[in-house]
Amino acid sequence: MTDFPFENRIWDSAETAPRAELERLQLDRLRGLVSRLADVPFYKNAFAEAGTSPEDIRSLDDLRRLPMTTKDDLREHYPLGFLAVGRDKLARIHGSSGTTGKPTFVAYTAADLELWANLCARFLVAGGLRPEHTAQIAFGYGLFTGGFGLHYGVEKVGAAIVPAAAGNTQRQLTLMCDLQTDVLVCTPSYALTIAEAAAAAGLEPRDLPPRFGHFGAEPWTEDMRREIESRLGLLAFNNYGLSEVIGPGVSGECALRDGMHVQEDHFLIECLDPDTLEPVAEGEQGELVITTLTKEAFPVLRYRTRDIARLDRSPCPCGRTTARMSRVVGRTDDMLIIRGVNVFPSQIEEALLHVEGTAPHYMIEVDRPGTLDVATVRVEVREQDFSDKMSQMQALRDRIDREIQSITGIRMSVELIEPQTLERFVGKAKRVIDHRVTDSS
């Protein structure tokens, strides 16, 4: 008999549908998706090139013959080239948190928003949210999908919401204590910031009201979960999503917290070798590739998430029949998530090019010494940039600093170092040392 830390409740009976029934539904929905996509120019061309028609989809295995979609494809069709419905059908537009040049936008119909709320409700209920609870949402409300996604999910469940939004930690503490919020929704690193601020204010963080925490929007580890739980005295749950697919709600943990249940009736998930694009062996790490089966406004076919994780298709004692995905353990590109913002090393290179005229050697180091990510960019000084005047050297540093901030949107600490001190690479250079992801999970 499995021990549940609290009552194992299931929001939607679809979560426990027998696999055969689920797969029939998926196949049916996949066929529908392919015919809907035939009106989207990008897919129309891709289908024509590959000679695909909806009638070719006879089994779920045929998915592998369908074309893939990448972030670059979305960018090339900026802003809304992937729309599969008319503008008059749109109910909402969100944007990716990515700051790689142009943002990417995603759109929702009213039905998409309803679906999204339902998907968030599923993982929230799986992770202990009940109608009698009050949830404090400390995510940004805006183009970012985190705030609104969780907001409507909590509302769907019937719980009360304190839409605290991100930041102002003192006020978060006041709201938490005065309104007795049972559930905290934010990034894992912000949960730790709240714990530290509570301790600094002379409060015992373990005595803060929240007993459940739903954390996402950035990678974290099992060590961090243990730390959050012991410091805040709550149960911490992980959830996963990305704006290009829908936002939060792609997957989330149940009470047993042994992987995140993928909402497979709405998303087909593949785990592929990022080089060969062939499926990895069961349980092996690979790149997650996701197909949205039911989204109307902005459906994507085989979207390459670039997130590396494992899939576990064994049954879960909670009763859900859906596959579970592990934490995201890495990226196939070199994207970093720093304080919730997506950063690519190529952006640092771009910033340095703006300052210098040519690309010098650099290394990005990311750490989380306390609760917040700290990024340091070490840049080799070149002969021609070196001045005996301190003011000029400071100005050089400041220019790099400002340029990085304007391109990435976040502040990094810039260190000038001696030339020829960074390792030189043949082929693909290693530009990043991420001290946050060194534990085993």
Binding site for another protein (CB under 8 A): 381-383, 386-391, 393-394, 397, 414-421
Q: Could you tell me which of 116, 310, 146 has the C-alpha nearest to residue 215?
A: 146
Q: How far is the CB of 366 from another protein (least distance, A)?
A: 18
Q: Could you tell me which of 255, 196, 186, 201 has the C-alpha nearest to residue 231?
A: 196
Residue the block writes with tokens 């976040």? 410
Cβ proximity to another protein, 12 vs 401, nearer residue: 401
Q: How far is the CB of 363 from another protein (least distance, A)?
A: 13
Q: How far is the CB of 413 from another protein (least distance, A)?
A: 9
Q: How far is the CB of 352 from another protein (least distance, A)?
A: 16
Q: How far is the CB of 411 from another protein (least distance, A)?
A: 15
**CB crowding 158-178: b at 16 or more within 10 Å, else e:** ebbbbbbbbeebeebbebbee
Tokens of 143: 């183009």
Residues 397 and 416 sit within 8 Å (Cβ to Cβ): yes
Pairing between β-strand 183-186 and β-strand 160-162 as defined by DSSP bridges: unpaired
* 273-280 contact pairs (CB < 8 A, 24+): 274/308, 274/332, 277/68, 279/64
Cβ proximity to another protein, 420 vs 440, nearer residue: 420
Cβ proximity to another protein, 370 vs 419, nearer residue: 419
Cβ proximity to another protein, 250 vs 381, nearer residue: 381
Cβ proximity to another protein, 68 vs 374, nearer residue: 374
Q: How far is the CB of 381 from another protein (least distance, A)?
A: 5
Cβ proximity to another protein, 35 vs 394, nearer residue: 394
Planar angle of CA 223, 225, 227, nearest 5 degrees: 70
Cβ proximity to another protein, 61 vs 423, nearer residue: 423
Cβ proximity to another protein, 254 vs 422, nearer residue: 422
SS3 17: coil
Q: How far is the CB of 361 from another protein (least distance, A)?
A: 13
Q: How far is the CB of 420 from another protein (least distance, A)?
A: 6
Residues 326 and 312 sit within 8 Å (Cβ to Cβ): yes
Residues 121 and 213 sit within 8 Å (Cβ to Cβ): no
Alpha helices, DSSP H, located in 71-126: 71-76, 110-126
Q: How far is the CB of 394 from another protein (least distance, A)?
A: 7
288 - beta bridge partners? 271
Residues 337 and 343 sit within 8 Å (Cβ to Cβ): yes
Residue the block writes with tokens 């910031």? 193
DSSP-derived secondary structure letter, 68: P
How many whole angstroms separate alpha carbon 35 and alpha carbon 289?
20
Cβ proximity to another protein, 59 vs 391, nearer residue: 391
Q: How far is the CB of 407 from another protein (least distance, A)?
A: 21
Q: Could you tell me which of 132, 146, 149, 118 has the C-alpha nearest to residue 212?
A: 132
Tokens of 385: 């940039």
Question: Does residue 335 come out as left (phi exceeding 0), alpha (psi in the -120 to 50 range) or beta?
Answer: beta
Cβ proximity to another protein, 222 vs 398, nearer residue: 398
How many whole angstroms separate alpha carbon 221 and alpha carbon 438?
9
Q: How far is the CB of 417 from another protein (least distance, A)?
A: 5
* Residue 208 Cα distances to 14, 175, 184, 266, angstroms: 35, 11, 10, 36
Cβ proximity to another protein, 335 vs 422, nearer residue: 422
Cβ proximity to another protein, 93 vs 417, nearer residue: 417
Q: How far is the CB of 355 from another protein (least distance, A)?
A: 16
How many whole angstroms separate alpha carbon 100 and alpha carbon 95?
12
